[in-house]
A and B are shown apart, each in its own frame.
Chain A
Amino acid sequence: MQSTARVNLENAAGLIVDDNAQALDLLASVLSSFGMKDLARASSAMEAMDVIKSRRIDLIMTDGQMPVMDGYDFVRWVRTQPDEEKRLTPAIVVTAHSRKSQVMRARDCGANFIITKPITPKVILERILWVSQGKRMFIETDNYIGPDRRFKQAGMPEEFPDGRRRDDQPAEVGALAGDNMSQEELNNMIAPQKVAL
């Protein structure tokens, strides 16, 4: 994450879901501090489902553990929506602790990321930047709908096939400027020499 890169969330619509009002406030204040103005809040997965049905959302951040319907089932529900734009909405689950019995459910719910609480602005921004990268593979099967988790083998993003970003320095910057020094010249550089005091 380059500190000189720009991030514009002014026109992005976010949805945050948490059954704890203070946790919801904390997450909202961090996202607002990043410039996100359009932020819908929901205190349960059911409320969040109504929001998803009624309007456009560009980013979902949901708590993992909630009563009645948890964040994993909510994301799974989002991934089964008939409207493709809704179905593909980037979704990040935030959880305090992953129960052993929930690890597989968390893995298979179709979230782009699962991050651990307590939230830190750095981790949240990193993940937002990641999910808002250009084209990424999405997979739909009988038992999994979500982003391709095998992104480590995905290679370079399609927009930068040579592996260089637009704001990278040109390759020439690191190129050799002249001939290599001879071994004798190198030896002379490190040889002990008398110093006139």
Chain B
Amino acid sequence: MSVVRKFMVTPRLASLIKAPGGLYVAEALKRGAAAVEASRDTCLSEVDAALEEMDALAKTPGFDPEAMYNQSARLICFCGAFSDDSLVTAARSLCELLDRAGEAGRRDDRGVKVHLASLRLLHRTEADDETRKAILAGLAQVVDRYERDAKAEA
């Protein structure tokens, strides 16, 4: 029989954070937003680099889906500085596609290429909201195909 031990914990952080001094939450958030804004150029460069790596991978026959997944995850990391979240949604969609394809033991190079083209359309372009929504809706359909296939097989 397994033993379950339950006890109350007060982390040291609890007393430290309440110590006199420090910042108002509003001020901390303002400084946090400024810190993210200050790294905007770095974030843009990282997104560009990730997209380039992904394009290069896609051009290689039989590319490693894991490397593609890692680059898409890298792209997600650096989207925080952008006000529009369509790029991060598209990158998450690509991660999801690669994950589901891997789980199903398949490759989906066409789906990956559709995602890459969409990421290019969403990044550093003046695409309006309607266009962005339409692109993301299209990507969702590409990924949902795996659920539809799984249901059809079941």
Q: Which residues of A contact B (CB under 8 A)?
A: 1-12, 20, 22-23, 25-26, 29-30, 32-35, 56, 58-59, 65, 85, 88-90, 96-97, 99-101, 117-122, 124-125, 128-129, 131-143, 147-148, 158
Task: Flag if A7 contacts B6 (CB, 8 Å).
Answer: no
Q: Which residue of A lies closest to B12 (CB)?
A: A58
A17 to chain B, nearest CB (A): 14
Q: Which residue of A lies closest to B22 (CB)?
A: A8
With A29-B39, A97-B76, A139-B5: A34-B13 Cβ-Cβ less than 8 Å: no
- Besides A3-B29, A6-B22, 13 more A-B contacts (Cβ < 8 Å) are A3-B24, A6-B25, A26-B42, A65-B73, A96-B77, A118-B76, A118-B78, A120-B80, A133-B14, A137-B7, A141-B3, A141-B4, A142-B2
With A12-B13, A26-B36, A125-B32: A7-B25 Cβ-Cβ less than 8 Å: yes
Q: Does B152 contact A (CB under 8 A)?
A: no
Cα–Cα distance between A121 and B28 once the two chains are bound (Å): 8
Q: Does B114 contact A (CB under 8 A)?
A: no
Q: Which residues of B contact A (CB under 8 A)?
A: 2-14, 16-26, 28-29, 31-36, 38-39, 42-43, 46, 69-70, 72-74, 76-81, 88, 91-92, 95-96, 99-100, 103
Task: Flag if B23 contacts A96 (CB, 8 Å).
Answer: no
Cα–Cα distance between A97 and B143 once the two chains are bound (Å): 15
Of the A-B pairs whose beta carbons lie under 8 Å apart in the complex, a sample of 26, sorted by A's number, is: A8-B22, A9-B22, A10-B19, A10-B21, A11-B19, A12-B13, A22-B42, A23-B78, A25-B39, A26-B36, A26-B43, A26-B77, A33-B28, A33-B34, A89-B11, A96-B91, A97-B92, A100-B103, A117-B76, A117-B77, A121-B31, A125-B28, A129-B25, A135-B8, A138-B8, A158-B8
10 closest Cβ pairs, A-B complex: A121-B32, A8-B22, A118-B80, A3-B26, A96-B73, A33-B31, A97-B95, A96-B76, A33-B35, A132-B13
Cα–Cα distance between A90 and B20 once the two chains are bound (Å): 21
Q: Which residue of A lies closest to B6 (CB)?
A: A139
Task: Flag if B10 contacts A134 (CB, 8 Å).
Answer: yes
Cα–Cα distance between A90 and B17 once the two chains are bound (Å): 13
Task: Flag if A101 contacts B103 (CB, 8 Å).
Answer: yes
Task: Flag if B12 contacts A85 (CB, 8 Å).
Answer: yes
Cα–Cα distance between A60 and B35 once the two chains are bound (Å): 20
Contact partner of A88 among B2, B3, B11, B88, CB < 8 A? Answer: B11
With A5-B25, A96-B77, A117-B80: A26-B39 Cβ-Cβ less than 8 Å: yes
Contact partner of A134 among B14, B20, B22, B26, CB < 8 A? Answer: B14
Cα–Cα distance between A125 and B32 once the two chains are bound (Å): 9
With A97-B95, A138-B9: A22-B46 Cβ-Cβ less than 8 Å: yes
A134 surroundings in chain B (CB, below 8 A):
10, 14
Cα–Cα distance between A124 and B25 once the two chains are bound (Å): 12
Cα–Cα distance between A101 and B77 once the two chains are bound (Å): 21
Task: Flag if B16 contacts A8 (CB, 8 Å).
Answer: yes
B76 surroundings in chain A (CB, below 8 A):
96-97, 117-118
Task: Flag if A7 contacts B35 (CB, 8 Å).
Answer: no
With A35-B28, A65-B73: A121-B33 Cβ-Cβ less than 8 Å: yes
